[in-house]
Amino acid sequence: MVRSLALIPRLFALLLVAGGIFLPECRAEGPAARPNLLLIVADDLGYGDLSIHGCKDISTPHIDSIAREGVRCSDGYVSAPQCSPTRAGLLTGRYQQRFGHEFNSAVPGSALALSETTLADRLRAAGYVTGLVGKWHLGTDDAHHPLKRGFQEFFGFLGGANPYLPQGPAGEVPRILRGREPAHETSYLTDAFAREAVAFIDRHQKESFFLYLAFNAPHGPLQAKEESLKRFATIADETRRTYAAMVSALDEAVGAVLGKLRAAGLDDQTLVVFLSDNGGPTDVNASRNTPWRGVKGEVREGGIRVPFFLRWKGRLPAGTVYQQPVIQLDLLPTALAAAGVPLPAEPPLDGVNLLPYLDGQKAEAPHDVLYWRFNFPPRQPSRYKWAIRQGRWKLFTDIDANRQKRNRSDRADARMLVDLTTDIHESTDLSQQYPEKFQALEAAWKMWNAEMAEPGENRAASRRDRDNTR
């Protein structure tokens, strides 16, 4: 009898195989399971253009849901007020100035330095399936193609901007690739990116995946679907009306992707992140960075402080607001920690794992200081825009991007010290009242700056990195 009972597990296993049931295909459940990672990036989205941030003429329920079901970082920053350098920092976890990725370079061959290891590289090596849907903007030649930077699948475009609507005799959206081949896309581009993201999740729902969903909306050119425009007929300004329709389409696209996670039973097994790559260029696309002052291209809050939400159901507290400064550089170490991948010792990361801060395990701030350096226009390193934030204090160069466009000779380096807890509009210079704080922050920024590469065409490496490789 004992021997007969011992045979039961074997017989059960044979029956499972004979019936076509293969246990290894089942996805691991519970805390030991590695989460999926969904990183959603909007392009040139104004801080004040989400309903959760008080927007009245555009409703964004799906994007808002990420914040309401997760953590909203009120002091969430990006390390550059422009597209490509922010993405370079995002995918490396390092200040992009360390490897010379200073701005949106138009020089052929400029790209994310091959010396850098991307988040996709690291997660792919750990067994994740990796995919990019959307905008790349980190190199257009084959050596820097997404498929050579850690991504196993790619659908999107390589440059910094792209039309949304089909055009020309073929009736296709130009320059869209699937892998390396033309995709012959005929749908509105935001919708196409949502469709491809949903399909990626569907293909890989039984695997651990990393999906980088980099929408180009609402970056120019300003193009919207007719049905979307009709919903905003009451907005008198044509530019704002088109922009609102584009943001609404973006929100619907995010909703489609979140809906797929829910339908596949992956809601609790996916860390979802949403942010914008910089502040809105208000004079170009009628975006609004309310309540901050400043725009894309500036180191005022309006250029670098962005929507920044993280949702991981059952792991991060839902509906909370985290008020310490964080930066997009933190997302690489946060993703690696969530995936159980050890953080690299070399090269050193500038970002930190946010998980123990967001869930309350650590009460201190993740960063003592955050730094910015942005050169406008290229090849004029004496015309830095720079900033440093330490707690409530921020020291920055008061150079207005819109004023520069109108008058290139107006480039006075007017440094301002502000207290962000009492002056969110950065309007009152306190450098005379607090000279020691001014001097300390200026000295700290100069020390950091001395470690960075000179502004280059997105090819250089920092002094420290060069020393480490000699």
Q: Is the peptide bond before 174 cis (omega within 30 degrees of 0)?
A: no
| Residues in contact with 68: Cβ distance below 8 Å, sequence separation at least 6, in sequence order | 52, 318, 319
137 catalytically annotated: yes
| CA gap 421, 143 in Å, rounded | 46
Catalytic residue among 137, 145, 219, 367: 137
**DSSP helix/strand/coil, 415:** strand
Neighbours of 302 (CB within 10 A): 30
Are 319 and 309 contacting, i.e. CB atoms less than 8 angstroms apart? no
| CA gap 339, 382 in Å, rounded | 42
- For every residue of 131-193, DSSP letters joined together read EEEEE--S--SGGGSGGGTT-SEEEEESSS----S-BTTTTB-TT-EETTEE----S-HHHHH
Q: Which of 215, 217, 246, 216 is nearest to 229 (CA)?
A: 246
Catalytic residue among 83, 144, 145, 367: 83
Are 35 and 336 contacting, i.e. CB atoms less than 8 angstroms apart? no
| CA gap 307, 254 in Å, rounded | 14
Residue 276's H or E segment, with its range, is strand 270-276
Q: Which of 95, 147, 94 is nearest to 344 (CA)?
A: 94
Are 125 and 152 contacting, i.e. CB atoms less than 8 angstroms apart? no
Given CA atoms 200, 205, 211, 217 in this order, what sign does their dihedral have? positive
Active site residues: 83, 137
